[in-house]
Chain A
Amino acid sequence: MRLSLKDPQFSGLLWQVVVVGLAIALIAWLWSNALHNLSVRRISTGFGFLGREAGMPIADTWLPYSPKDTYLWAFVVGIVNTLRVATIGIVLATVLGTMIGIARLSSNWLLSRLSAVYVEVLRDIPLLLQLLFWYVLMQGFPPARGAWKPIEGVFLSNRGLVLPAIPIGSGQLWALGSAVLGFAAFYMLRRRLIALQMRDGRARRIWLYGLMLIIGPPALVSWWLGVSWTVTLPELRGFNFVGGWTLAPEYFALLIALVTYTSAFIAEIVRSGIQSVAKGQWDAALALGLRRSFVLQHIVMPQALRVIIPPMTSQYLNLTKNSSLAVAIGYQDIVSVANTTLNQTGQAIEAIALIMVVFLTISLSISMFMNWYNARIALTER
Chain B
Amino acid sequence: MAVATEVPQAPRPTARSPSSWGARQPILRWLRTNLFSSISSTIITMLLLALLIKLLISFVQWGFLDAVWTVPGNDTGACRAVRGVGACWAVIPEKYRFILFGTYPFDQQWRPAAATLVFICLFVLTSLRAMWRRELVLVWAIALALIGLLMWGGVPGLPFVSQERWGGLPVTLILATFGLAFGFPLGIIVALGRRSKLPAIRSLCVLYVELIRGVPLISLLFMASVMFPLFMPDGFNIDKLLRAQIAVVLYAGAYLAEVIRGGLQAVPRGQHEAADSIGLSYWQKQRLIVLPQAIRHVIPPLVNTFIAFFKDTSLVLIIGIFDLLTTAKTAIIDPAWQAFSVEVYVFVALIYFAFCFAMSRYSRQLETQDKAGK
CA distance A324 to B217 in the complex (A): 9
Q: How far is the CB of A324 from chain B (nearest CB, A)?
A: 4
CA distance A107 to B31 in the complex (A): 11
- Known A38-B230, A348-B227, A359-B215; contact A128-B197, beta-carbon cutoff 8 A: no
Is A137 a contact of B342 with CB atoms below 8 Å?
yes
Is B4 a contact of A112 with CB atoms below 8 Å?
yes
Closest to A109 in B: B34
Q: How far is the CB of A107 from chain B (nearest CB, A)?
A: 5
Is B8 a contact of A128 with CB atoms below 8 Å?
no
Hey, which chain A residues are within 8 Å of B45, CB to CB?
Answer: 108, 110-111
CA distance A37 to B235 in the complex (A): 10
- Say which residue of B6, B217, B219, B342 sits within 8 Å of A275 (CB atoms): B6
Is B230 a contact of A125 with CB atoms below 8 Å?
no
Number of interface residues of A (CB under 8 A): 65
Closest to B313 in A: A126
Which of B70-78, B156-164, B344-352 faces chain A?
Answer: B344-352
B214 within 8 Å of A by Cβ?
A: yes
Number of interface residues of B (CB under 8 A): 60
A2 within 8 Å of B by Cβ?
A: no
A-B contact count (CB 8 A): 175
Is A325 a contact of B218 with CB atoms below 8 Å?
yes
B148 within 8 Å of A by Cβ?
A: no
Is A16 a contact of B198 with CB atoms below 8 Å?
yes
- Say which residue of B200, B211, B353 sits within 8 Å of A20 (CB atoms): B200
Is A16 a contact of B234 with CB atoms below 8 Å?
no
Is A126 a contact of B325 with CB atoms below 8 Å?
yes
- Say which residue of A33, A275, A328 sits within 8 Å of B231 (CB atoms): A33
B10 within 8 Å of A by Cβ?
A: yes
CA distance A124 to B219 in the complex (A): 23
B27 within 8 Å of A by Cβ?
A: no
- Say which residue of B223, B314, B341 sits within 8 Å of A128 (CB atoms): B314
A274 within 8 Å of B by Cβ?
A: yes
Is B215 a contact of A105 with CB atoms below 8 Å?
no
B216 within 8 Å of A by Cβ?
A: yes
Q: How far is the CB of B311 from chain A (nearest CB, A)?
A: 4
Q: How far is the CB of B80 from chain A (nearest CB, A)?
A: 13
CA distance A342 to B222 in the complex (A): 10
Which of A53-61, A68-76, A349-357, A372-380 faces chain B?
Answer: A349-357
- Say which residue of B9, B223, B311, B360 sits within 8 Å of A127 (CB atoms): B311
Hey, which chain A residues are within 8 Å of B200, CB to CB?
Answer: 16, 19-20
Hey, which chain B residues are within 8 Å of A19, CB to CB?
Answer: 200-201, 204
- Known A16-B198, A110-B49, A286-B8; contact A132-B215, beta-carbon cutoff 8 A: no
Interface bits A12-43 vs B (CB < 8 Å: 1, else 0): 10011001100100000011011011101000
Is B198 a contact of A328 with CB atoms below 8 Å?
no
Give the residue among B214, B317, B341, B353 with the most A Cβ atoms within 10 A: B214
Q: How far is the CB of A90 from chain B (nearest CB, A)?
A: 16
- CB contacts under 8 Å to B, within A125-170, are 125-130, 132-133, 136-137, 140
CA distance A324 to B34 in the complex (A): 42
CA distance A36 to B232 in the complex (A): 10
Hey, which chain A residues are within 8 Å of B217, CB to CB?
Answer: 321
Is B314 a contact of A282 with CB atoms below 8 Å?
no
Is A328 a contact of B34 with CB atoms below 8 Å?
no
- CB contacts under 8 Å to B, within A91-122, are 104-112, 114, 120-121
- Known A33-B230, A108-B44, A120-B357; contact A279-B8, beta-carbon cutoff 8 A: yes
Extra 6 A-B pairs, beta carbons < 8 Å, given A105-B6, A107-B7? A30-B231, A33-B233, A111-B45, A274-B7, A322-B216, A348-B227
- Provide a sorted-by-A list of 5 A–B residue pairs whose CB atoms are within 8 angstroms: A107-B34, A123-B356, A125-B356, A126-B314, A132-B341
Q: Which A residues are within 8 Å of any B CB, using their own CB?
A: 12, 15-16, 19-20, 23, 30-31, 33-34, 36-38, 40, 104-112, 114, 120-121, 123-130, 132-133, 136-137, 140, 271, 274-275, 279, 282-283, 286, 292, 321-322, 324-325, 327-328, 335, 339, 342, 348-349, 352, 355-356, 359-360, 363-364
Query: Across chains A and B, which 5 residue pairs bring their CB atoms closest together, nearest first?
Result: A124-B356, A109-B34, A126-B311, A321-B216, A16-B200
